[in-house]
Structure 1
Amino acid sequence: MRAAKYIWQWRSIAKQAFTQTSIVAKFLCLLHVTNNYLCSSTLVYGPSMLPTLNISGDVLLVEHISHRLGKLGPGDVVLVRSPVDPRKIVTKRIVGMEGDRITFLLDPSSNDSCNIIVVPKGHVWIQGDNMYASSDSRHFGPVPYGLIQGKVFMRVWPPHSFGSLEQ
Structure 2
Amino acid sequence: MLFALFMLAALVLTGAVWLLDIFYLRKVRAEGKAESWVVEYSKSFFPVILAVFMIRSFLVEPFKIPSGSMMPTLLVGDFILVNKHTYGLRVPILNNTFFEMNHPQRGEVMVFRYPQDPSMDYIKRVVGLPGDRIEYRDKHLVINGQPLEVGLDGDYEYVAPGLNRIAAKLYKETLGAHKHDILLVDDAPVIDGEVIVPPGHYFVMGDNRDNSNDSRFWGFVPENNIVGKAFMIWWNFDNFGRIGDTIK
Instruction: Please state which band the TM-score falls in when normalised by the shorter chain.
Output: 0.7 to 0.9
**Number of residues of Structure 1 aligned to a counterpart in Structure 2:** 157
- What is aligned with 1:149? 227
Aligned equivalent of 1:66, options 82, 86, 110: 86
Aligned equivalent of 2:126, options 89, 94, 113: 94
Residue 75 of structure 2 corresponds to residue 54 of structure 1: yes
Give unmatched runs, 5+ long, in structure 2: 1-29, 89-100, 140-183
Residue 55 of structure 2 corresponds to residue 34 of structure 1: yes
Give me the whole-angstrom Cα distance separating, in 2, the residues matched to 1:30 and 1:101.
43
1:100–1:119 contact (8 Å) kept in structure 2: yes
1:76–1:94 contact (8 Å) kept in structure 2: yes
Per-residue deviation, 1:59 = 0.2
Aligned residues: CA RMSD: 2.6
**TM-score, length-normalised on structure 1?**
0.80
65-74 or 45-54, which moves further after superposition? Answer: 65-74
Question: Structure 2 vs 1, CA of residues 73 and 130 (structure 1 numbering), >3 Å: closer, same or farther?
Answer: same
1:126-147 deviation digits (Å, cap 9, x = unpaired) = 0000111101011112211111
Question: Structure 2 vs 1, CA of residues 18 and 141 (structure 1 numbering), >3 Å: closer, same or farther?
Answer: closer
**TM-score, length-normalised on structure 2?**
0.56
1:26-45 deviation digits (Å, cap 9, x = unpaired) = 22112111112211111112
Map 1:1-167 to 2 at 5 A.
Answer: 7-10=30-33, 13-14=34-35, 21-55=42-76, 57-68=77-88, 69-105=101-137, 109=188, 114-158=192-236, 159-167=240-248
Per-residue deviation, 1:166 = 4.3
- What is aligned with 2:143? none
Q: Which amino acid aligns with 2:81?
A: L
130-139 or 65-74, which moves further after superposition? Answer: 65-74
Over 6 Å off, 4+ runs: none
Identity rate, percent = 29
1:106–1:114 contact (8 Å) kept in structure 2: yes
Give me the whole-angstrom Cα distance separating, in 2, the residues matched to 1:123 and 1:81.
13
1:9-65 deviation digits (Å, cap 9, x = unpaired) = 21xx339x867743421221121111122111111121211111113x110011111
Per-residue deviation, 1:96 = 1.4
Q: Which amino acid aligns with 1:49?
A: M
Paired residue secondary structure (1:163): coil
Give me the whole-angstrom Cα distance separating, in 2, the residues matched to 1:40 and 1:105.
36
1:106–1:138 contact (8 Å) kept in structure 2: no
Question: Structure 2 vs 1, CA of residues 129 and 21 (structure 1 numbering), >3 Å: closer, same or farther?
Answer: same
Q: Which amino acid aligns with 1:163?
A: G
Per-residue deviation, 1:157 = 1.7
Paired residue secondary structure (1:134): coil
